[in-house]
Structure 1
Amino acid sequence: MEKSSEKIENNEIKEDLKNIENIAFIDINGAKIAIELLDSQKYENVEAIPIRTDFFGKKDFITLKKGYEMGLVEIKELDHSTVNTVSCKNDSVVPLILIDGDEITGAMQNRIINDTLLIPAKSTINIHVSCTEHGRWHTRGEGESSRSFKPSLYSANHSTRSRKSRASYEERDYQGEVWDSISEFESRSNFKSMTSALNDSYENLKDKQNDYLSKFHIEDGQNGVIFIVNGEIKGLELFYNHSIYKQYHEKLCRSYIIEAIVEKKSVDNIDRLELMNVLENISDSEFKSLKSIGLGDNIKFSNDFGSGSGLIWEDELIHMTFFKDFVINEVII
């Protein structure tokens, strides 16, 4: 009996050690989080590591897609249209969550959301955006409805978001970075959109994306993911809760998969210790915090690996992204 009890105890110790090895503790400008790394999912040159945290957000938010489908959310051009600002109306009884990099299509030209925002219930706010369709500045229809946007199936691709994140932290104008990134992606993928629309690049590679996409599934309780492409850590995406993450899972996967298709290389397995070090070093980043135009505070941060951003409201982390700096010819962009 003693040997049996000892065996059970040893197994429990091993399981505890295994759990410890798979948990990273990070501090996001005062918001302390334990991140559990779940079993990785791999296909070709992409590895996705599902993550879940020790917090389970209870607040109710409505996403852009759901709000649009229910007729409760409208994003449209200002009366006097300008590239980097649009109007957002939230007629829901709960805050609307808008995610950094999420694309909206239509109106005068396609745009992406610049920062993660919480738009208060029953309010209208002008929000900052970046253009992802350099070659169009006109509506594709008549009447007031032609000046409104609809949610895209896509988010900005990883390299565009990474470059925008770095420029934002350094307080540089990043509209040019977004346009340059889209143009360079077109060159890398040997494709040219008639209007330099990022959305067109996604559509061009949609079938190949779908081959990858079917291999990455959502785990129980998952509220984030780490993406590794060609054996390199590319980004961390973390959401307030499982419910919100589920609605963005496919978009996030596509934003990394599309890069993997274009830059396909032989894959080396990444060392788990290296991954944990990258996560835990986030705590040592240089942080900047500023009042959001919606609810809460937007944070920007940077370290030797990359840069990130997020939103904190009432001491809770609502959303966070962290990207490895995008490099072209050994030059950080």
Structure 2
Amino acid sequence: MKLFSGSVFALVAIAASVALMMLQNVFAETQRAGEYRISGPYTHENLSVFLFHGTNRSAKNLLTLEEAIAQHKVVVYETRNVNELAIENVSDEDVFIESGDIVKGGAQDRTLKDDLILPTKSGRVNINSFCVEHGRWSARGTEPVSTFGSATEALATKKLKMAVKMKGDQREVWEQVAAAQASMSSSLRSDVRAAASPTSYAMTMQAPAVQKSIDGYLRELKGIVDGNSDVIGYAFAIDGQVNSADVYVSHELFAKLWPKLLRASAVEAVSEYQSGKKFEPANVAALKTALADADSAKGFARQLTDRTNVLVKETPRNILFETRDRAQGDAWIHRNYMTK
């Protein structure tokens, strides 16, 4: 009986050891994936959204550019240089600027090239930009020409994001803006260019026909984050193909960005919508494969400002931009994955 008990004990110990090793392997995999789990997909029409759940990496509050401009805590200045603006944080809170944010006004609307952390009382800081309104070089209506009045919109096609973020080519940015407008007009069978400024990408995003076209997506998908205080990011797929993913340092930052992120994703989905098109829905396994591929690449780092570094990892199929805060020991605050 003692021998039997000892054998059972040994088997239990071995099983427990194996289980512990498996748990450690799972935990290690989670660590490599950025300490998050993925839920979804949540789908409407041709757009599928996945949510990233994880722990907050920082309790520090970051204002978004949209809210900082609205609260008059940040001023974005026109410099008369198409590819460079000046920005100043006049508040006591740090501000997170996301690549692809569109500032509306000035001599022409611009999109901002890089993620940046703008520190408190920053003074004027130069920031790389691209024109997303070809042709205008004067005041528009009653908008001030020396500053920019809002940042409510963001770039909404992957090709346009890549032209800004990776290629850094103004001519291609203009071409992709025109292509995005043409694609949306074709999809909606309506000219979505604004009469006040036909080349303005921001005004196209705000066109009534565009807003109406994304209403269903917003109604069905905006609430999926409600009651989930651990959601720190999302990914989306269009027509069953993984498009991109964004993971942030905290739930608070993600929650503030979520409406703008979802609007941009919905606009891209509408621009690619084809009635009756059949496709296999995207799944978590396909998303994880894309993330792991990007994570596996060797990266190169660039210092953007005294406060911000970016690590870029690229493979033939995927790319990762990881924004890091030098004031927090180079801890990452935003991971942006895109498939090619």
Measured against the shorter chain, the TM-score band is: 0.7 to 0.9
Pair 40,274 (structure 1): closer, same or farther in 2 beyond 3 Å: closer
1:213 equivalent in structure 2: 218
Aligned AA for 1:67? A
TM-score by length of 2: 0.80
Q: CA deviation at 1:121?
A: 1.0
Distance of 1:184 and 1:261 partners within structure 2: 14
Distance of 1:282 and 1:26 partners within structure 2: 12
Distance of 2:213 and 2:76 partners within structure 1: 31
8 Å CA contact retained: 2:321, 2:336:
yes
Q: CA deviation at 1:55?
A: 4.2
2:232 equivalent in structure 1: 223
8 Å CA contact retained: 2:105, 2:150:
no
Deviations along 1:161-216, one digit per CA (max 9) or x if unpaired, are: 1343342xxxxx42222211111112222336343111232123111112111111
Pair 166,25 (structure 1): closer, same or farther in 2 beyond 3 Å: farther
User: Which structure 2 residues correspond to residues 100-115 of structure 1 after superposition, within 5 A?
Assistant: 100-115=99-114
Is 1:186 the counterpart of 2:181? The answer is: yes
- Which of the numbers 298, 307, 320 marks the counterpart of 1:308? 320
Pair 56,267 (structure 1): closer, same or farther in 2 beyond 3 Å: same
Per the alignment, in what secondary structure is the counterpart of residue 245 of structure 1? helix
Q: CA deviation at 1:266?
A: 2.7
Q: Which moved more, 1:290-299 or 1:129-138?
A: 290-299
Distance of 2:265 and 2:63 partners within structure 1: 25
Per the alignment, in what secondary structure is the counterpart of residue 244 of structure 2? strand
Pair 51,270 (structure 1): closer, same or farther in 2 beyond 3 Å: same
1:198 equivalent in structure 2: 201
Q: Which structure's residues are more often helix, by fraction?
A: 2
- Long gaps (5+) in structure 1: 1-12, 28-32, 168-172, 326-333
Q: CA deviation at 1:270?
A: 2.2
8 Å CA contact retained: 1:94, 1:120:
yes
Distance of 2:162 and 2:237 partners within structure 1: 14
Distance of 2:127 and 2:279 partners within structure 1: 40
Q: CA deviation at 1:25?
A: 4.7
- Which of the numbers 312, 319, 326 marks the counterpart of 2:334? 319
Distance of 1:157 and 1:259 partners within structure 2: 6
Q: CA deviation at 1:24?
A: 5.0
8 Å CA contact retained: 1:103, 1:152:
yes
Pair 106,57 (structure 1): closer, same or farther in 2 beyond 3 Å: same
Pair 272,60 (structure 1): closer, same or farther in 2 beyond 3 Å: closer
Is 1:136 the counterpart of 2:151? The answer is: no
Aligned residues: 298
Per the alignment, in what secondary structure is the counterpart of residue 178 of structure 1? helix
8 Å CA contact retained: 1:166, 1:308:
no
- Long gaps (5+) in structure 2: 1-18, 186-190
1:177 equivalent in structure 2: 172
8 Å CA contact retained: 2:134, 2:200:
yes
Pair 254,162 (structure 1): closer, same or farther in 2 beyond 3 Å: farther
Q: CA deviation at 1:63?
A: 1.8
Q: CA deviation at 1:288?
A: 1.6
User: Which structure 2 residues correspond to residues 1-333 of structure 1 after superposition, within 5 A?
Assistant: 25-26=31-32, 33-78=34-79, 81-123=80-122, 124-140=124-140, 145-159=144-158, 160-167=160-167, 173-190=168-185, 191=191, 193=193, 194-204=197-207, 205-216=210-221, 217=223, 218=225, 219-264=228-273, 265-313=277-325, 314-325=329-340
**RMSD over aligned Cα, in angstroms?**
2.6
Pair 200,266 (structure 1): closer, same or farther in 2 beyond 3 Å: farther
Aligned AA for 1:134? H
Distance of 1:281 and 1:35 partners within structure 2: 17
Distance of 1:150 and 1:214 partners within structure 2: 28
8 Å CA contact retained: 1:299, 1:309:
yes
Per the alignment, in what secondary structure is the counterpart of residue 39 of structure 1? strand
Q: CA deviation at 1:54?
A: 4.0
8 Å CA contact retained: 1:117, 1:294:
no
Instruction: Spell out structure 1 runs of 4+ moving beyond 4 A.
Output: none
Aligned AA for 2:172? E
Q: CA deviation at 1:96?
A: 1.5
Identity value in percent: 19
Q: CA deviation at 1:307?
A: 2.1
Per the alignment, in what secondary structure is the counterpart of residue 223 of structure 1? strand
Per the alignment, in what secondary structure is the counterpart of residue 147 of structure 1? coil
